[in-house]
Structure 1
Amino acid sequence: MRHIPDLHRISEAVAESFGAREVYGEPIERDGVLVIPAAHVWSSGGAGAGGPDHGAATAPDSPEGAPAEAAADRSEPDAGPHPRPDGGGGGVGFGRRAEPAGAFVVEGQAVRWVPAVNVNRIVLGGQVAFVLAAALVGWAVVRRRRG
């Protein structure tokens, strides 16, 4: 039995999952100040499908996937290749990543952007810069001693 996916239902679900709701959160209001959170959202997806495998052949009495040549060695009259009755397949994959970007803060008639600070990214950048600087100093010292 073959399963055919409902592409209309899948496309509606994907369309609902993309949009402003994924980037902007629900507004929060307190003491006359409105805060609208925002995020960076990355999404990707893919799909694949297959059909019957007419190219591969198996021996009639051999385990699935065994080549027809193995059956040809057994001197049986009906040891010729037969097309595999099964085959096909498919799949769908979807991935999403989101991280805070900041928030719009609305006070009266004034609107300002408050960026989210990713301390981990700042620390990692500092560590990478330190390692590169140490490697550069080491290279310069070795070069000066040789020269």
Structure 2
Amino acid sequence: MQPEDILNRVRDVATVRQVFGEPIERDGTLVVPVARIRGGGGGGSGTDGASGAPTTRQGWGGGFGIDARPLGVYVIREGMVSWQPAVDVTRIVVQAQLVAVAGLIVARSFIRRRRGR
């Protein structure tokens, strides 16, 4: 696969449709989903063959990745637009657990310090 092929595929994938989903209309209310799209890629190449060698070493590689996360929806009702954020409950729970563990570690160090250890 050539670099141009990779860039063409990226262009096809990373479009506005990936961020603003298809609008949904029901009972006079229009809902437009919104997501955050991030991407990254890289490539490489190389030849390390000795001149006159029967085999010539070669190499080429590349890749691309995309991460999409829902942010929320725009709600359009009776000419008014409002924003309804998406709530990632898993992220909130994990962050709360990390804060709790950090608090326990700090409390343990204070208790040990008071005991003189």
Q: Give the TM-score, by structure 1 length.
A: 0.72
1:10 aligns to 2:45 (yes or no): no
- Rg (Cα) greater in structure: 1
SS at match of 1:87: coil
CA distance in 2, matches of 1:87, 1:112: 59
The AA in structure 2 aligned to 1:137 is A
Runs of 4 or more above 6 Å deviation: none
Give the C-alpha shift of residue 49 in structure 1.
1.5
Q: Which residue of 2 aligns with 1:79?
A: none
The AA in structure 2 aligned to 1:92 is G
Q: Which residue of 1 aligns with 2:25?
A: 29
Give the C-alpha shift of residue 20 in structure 1.
1.1
Q: Which residue of 1 aligns with 2:63?
A: 93
CA distance in 2, matches of 1:54, 1:116: 57
CA distance in 2, matches of 1:52, 1:125: 48
User: CA RMSD, aligned part only?
Assistant: 2.0
Q: Which structure 2 segments of 5+ residues have no match? A: none
The AA in structure 1 aligned to 2:73 is A
State the aligned residue count: 117
The AA in structure 2 aligned to 1:100 is P
Larger RCO, structure (CA 8 Å, separation 6 or more): 1
CA distance in 1, matches of 2:15, 2:101: 40
Q: Which residue of 2 aligns with 1:107?
A: 77
Give the C-alpha shift of residue 118 in structure 1.
0.4
Q: Give the TM-score, by structure 2 length.
A: 0.88
Matches within 5 A, 1:1-147: 5=2, 7=4, 9-51=5-47, 53-54=49-50, 83-146=53-116
Identity rate of aligned residues, in percent? 37
Give the C-alpha shift of residue 84 in structure 1.
4.2
